[in-house]
């Protein structure tokens, strides 16, 4: 289907959309599919060269790529950052794939900002949105986003959590340093232990943040940055 | 006396040493994006240091190298073209970097905000400046219906850079706004005429002053309105005028010591 967006008046969505959101993303009920195509609530997005969007269960990377193609290409994604009706419609569209399960097999429902596209000015929660967040990562890093997005939509992951917590960390050098240390490119999988307390992703975030006081790490190459990191990272991962 | 510890040996770049302006470009059917139209770092720094600019809007950060102190360059016009929105303001932060090891040698104390509504960001400023004979006054404001307001400054001042002096600007600009506001109020029938009246009306509206028609003719009502206008102006430009001056004045009292 063609990609669509929910209509709003002065930024306010109809109460039916709010009610359906609560039913699906708070109470865990199944989406009423009519909301995706009913022209009372949504309109087709006018996109030059936009492909049809095929909603299917695939990795976050492939989903981000499919959404990018439906928006006219990777370079266009960021221009839609504050088009809340679009991200809300996409969340509805992927509702069947977005939830994980707890140990008892019940639907695991997370904080509302995982599903509701919060104001982009809210730096604490905006990046948490499950669809917009992965699309922005893909927009910033293209094929190199594979190591973050190689998982089902229902799994957020430690790496994504750490790399999206601070806007500075979308920088290419920092991002590729994470990739070089934690990603096994030949096996296309994350190295075992990347979420460990010592030498893991959170430890690396902390070390790089300290270095940003003294160095313009964004101007360095990945190898230069690795050289000034605490040697424990190099010893452990390279 | 304040004692600032500088364990990293990093130097602060005074706000007065930085000139940065932005304007807006339209992306059809989508909105506007900011374009950095001027960037200049002044001061006595090693000419080989690289200028590193970080800009931030909401949760988005972009960085770019803008040449060296000796050869300063502007970011490409499309640098921020993906920041499409109707809200153009953003914050910027500048560091001076050693090219040999990417170490931060100097940096701003904190990020500062910029938006394209400020008069300095327009191609044609709504007020002009001119060095002329104003003695015994240091400056005066010349206004007429036909020509936009001009701040005339004493030609006896040899340093032409004086018009960027923060003490001077902080002292005169609120008075300039006061006088222009009074002039516009007295000529409010012509506010929508093409020319500088309309430009200033828009400028005041950007500060959410748009009740020209509602102000009565009583002197105390006019005075109250003008005071509100000047206060609003000072608040709006506090980060460009008041804060950097206070910071500059206070920093001259600091005794710095490296560890």
- What confidence tens digit (pLDDT) does each residue in B233-251 have? 999 999 889 999 998 888 8
The pLDDT value given to residue B24: 85
CA B83 to chain centre: 22
Dist CA A202 CA A199 (whole Å) = 8
pLDDT at B122 over 60: no
Residue B191 to residues A149, A220, A234, Cα–Cα distance (Å): 57, 54, 67
The pLDDT value given to residue A49: 80
B95 CB within 8 Å of a chain A CB: yes
Query: Which DSSP symbol is given to B200?
Result: H
Cβ pair B63, B53 in contact under 8 A: yes
Domain B1-121 has CATH 3.40.50: no
Cα angle for residues B154, B155, B156 (degrees, 5° grid): 85
In this structure, what token pair is assigned to residue B181? 């506001």
The pLDDT value given to residue B119: 36
Tell me which residue in A127, A215, A224 faces B104 most closely, judged by beta carbons.
A215
Instruction: Enumerate the residues of chain B whose CB falls inside 8 A of the CB of residue A218.
Output: 52, 54, 63
The pLDDT value given to residue A73: 92
Q: What is the mean pLDDT of residues B143-156?
A: 79
Question: Strand ranges (DSSP E) for chain A?
Answer: 4-6, 42-44, 100-101, 107-108, 183-184, 189-190
Backbone angles phi, psi at B25, to 5 degrees: -120, 145
Cβ pair B209, B229 in contact under 8 A: yes
B102:A120 CB<8 A = no
pLDDT band at A166 (very low <50, low <70, confident <90, very high): confident
ipTM: 0.77
**More confident of the two residues B91 and A192:** A192
B30 CB within 8 Å of a chain A CB: yes
Residue A151 to residues A134, B110, B114, Cα–Cα distance (Å): 11, 38, 40
CA distance A136 to chain B (A): 10
B97:A216 CB<8 A = yes
Dist CA A88 CA A152 (whole Å) = 19
Cβ pair B107, B94 in contact under 8 A: yes
A167:B82 CB<8 A = no
Name the residue of chain B whose CA is nearest to A215's CA: B103
The pTM of this model reads 0.63
CA distance A102 to chain B (A): 31
Instruction: Enumerate the residues of chain B whose CB falls inside 8 A of the CB of residue A126.
Output: 58-59
Cβ neighbours of B91 (radius 10 Å): 15
Backbone angles phi, psi at B9, to 5 degrees: 70, 15
Name the residue of chain A whose CA is nearest to B90's CA: A121
In this structure, what token pair is assigned to residue B137? 């006054």
Q: Which residue has the tokens 């490119």?
A: A185
Backbone angles phi, psi at A123, to 5 degrees: -65, -20
Q: What is the mean pLDDT of residues B85-108?
A: 89
B61 CB contacts (<8 Å, ≥6 apart)?
A: A167, A168, A170, A171, B54, B55
In this structure, what token pair is assigned to residue B53? 């600019």
Name the residue of chain A whose CA is nearest to B30's CA: A79
Instruction: Enumerate the residues of chain A whose CB falls inside 8 A of the CB of residue B104.
Output: 213-216
Tell me which residue in B58, B63, B102 faces A215 most closely, judged by beta carbons.
B102
B52 CB within 8 Å of a chain A CB: yes
CA B48 to chain centre: 27
Cβ pair A184, A147 in contact under 8 A: no
Dist CA A232 CA A197 (whole Å) = 13
pLDDT in tens, A148-157: 898 999 998 8
Q: Which of B5, B11, B59, B106 to mutate to test the interface with A (most CBs of A within 10 A)?
A: B59
Query: Which DSSP symbol is given to B124?
Result: S
Query: Which DSSP symbol is given to B242?
Result: I
Q: What is the mean pLDDT of residues A129-137?
A: 93
Name the residue of chain A whose CA is nearest to B57's CA: A121
Dist CA B217 CA B230 (whole Å) = 19
Name the residue of chain A whose CA is nearest to B66's CA: A219
Dist CA A172 CA A233 (whole Å) = 19
The SS3 of residue B105 is strand
CA distance A179 to chain B (A): 20
CA distance B59 to chain A (A): 5
A219:B103 CB<8 A = no
pLDDT band at B118 (very low <50, low <70, confident <90, very high): very low
Cβ pair A100, A154 in contact under 8 A: yes
Question: What's the mean pLDDT when you consider all of chain B?
Answer: 83
Tell me which residue in A126, A213, A219 faces B52 most closely, judged by beta carbons.
A219
Cα angle for residues A44, A25, A95 (degrees, 5° grid): 50
Dist CA B227 CA B185 (whole Å) = 13
Q: What is the mean pLDDT of residues A188-206?
A: 91
% of chain A surpassing 70 pLDDT: 98
Q: How many CB pairs under 8 A join A and B?
A: 59
Q: Where in chain B is the domain with CATH 2.60.40?
A: 1-121
The alpha carbon torsion through B240, B245, B247, B248 (nearest 10 deg) reads 130
pLDDT band at B229 (very low <50, low <70, confident <90, very high): very high
Question: What's the mean pLDDT when you consider all of chain A?
Answer: 91
């Amino acid at each position: 289907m063609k990609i669509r967006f929910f209509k709003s008046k002065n930024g306010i969505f109809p109460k039916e959309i709010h009610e359906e959101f609560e039913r699906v993303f708070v109470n865990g009920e199944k989406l009423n599919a009519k909301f995706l195509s009913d022209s009372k609530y949504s309109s087709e997005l006018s996109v030059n060269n936009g492909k049809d969007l095929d909603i299917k269960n695939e990795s976050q990377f492939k989903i981000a790529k499919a959404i990018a193609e439906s928006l006219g290409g990777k370079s266009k994604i960021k221009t839609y950052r504050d088009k809340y009706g679009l991200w809300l419609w996409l969340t509805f569209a992927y509702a069947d794939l977005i939830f994980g399960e707890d140990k008892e097999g019940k639907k695991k429902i997370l904080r509302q900002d995982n599903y509701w596209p919060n104001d982009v000015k809210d730096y604490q929660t905006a990046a948490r949105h499950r669809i917009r967040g992965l699309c922005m990562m893909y927009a910033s890093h293209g094929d190199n986003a594979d190591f973050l997005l190689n998982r089902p939509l229902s799994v957020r992951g430690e790496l994504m959590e750490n790399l999206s917590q601070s806007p500075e960390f979308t920088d290419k050098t920092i991002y590729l340093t994470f990739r070089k240390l934690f990603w096994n490119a030949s096996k296309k999988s994350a190295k075992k232990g990347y979420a460990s307390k010592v030498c893991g992703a959170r430890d690396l975030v902390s070390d790089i943040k300290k270095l940003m006081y003294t160095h313009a790490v964004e101007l360095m190459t990945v190898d230069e940055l690795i050289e000034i990191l605490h040697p424990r990272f190099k010893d452990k991962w390279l | 006396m304040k004692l600032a510890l500088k364990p990293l040996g990093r130097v602060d770049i005074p706000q007065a040493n930085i000139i940065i302006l932005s304007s807006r470009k339209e992306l059809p059917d989508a909105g506007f994006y900011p374009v950095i139209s001027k960037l200049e770092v002044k001061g006595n720094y090693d000419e080989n240091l690289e200028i590193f600019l970080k800009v931030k809007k909401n949760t988005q950060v972009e960085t770019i190298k803008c040449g060296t102190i000796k050869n300063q360059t502007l970011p490409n016009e499309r640098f921020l073209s993906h920041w499409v929105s109707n809200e153009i303001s953003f914050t910027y932060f500048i560091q001076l970097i050693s090219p040999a090891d990417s170490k931060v040698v100097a940096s701003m104390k904190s990020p500062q905000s910029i938006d394209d509504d400020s008069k300095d960001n327009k191609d044609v400023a709504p007020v002009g400046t001119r060095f002329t004979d104003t003695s015994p006054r240091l400056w005066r404001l010349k206004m007429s219906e036909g020509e936009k307001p001009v701040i005339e400054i004493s030609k006896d001042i040899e340093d032409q850079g004086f018009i960027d002096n923060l003490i001077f600007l902080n002292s005169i600009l609120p008075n300039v706004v006061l006088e222009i506001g009074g002039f516009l109020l007295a000529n409010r029938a012509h506010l929508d005429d093409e020319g500088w009246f309309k430009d200033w009306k828009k400028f005041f509206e950007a500060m959410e002053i748009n009740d020209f028609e509602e102000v009565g003719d009583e002197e105390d009502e006019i005075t109250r309105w003008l005071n509100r206008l000047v206060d609003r102006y000072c608040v709006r430009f506090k980060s460009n005028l008041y804060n950097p001056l206070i910071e500059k004045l206070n920093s001259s009292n600091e005794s710095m010591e490296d560890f």
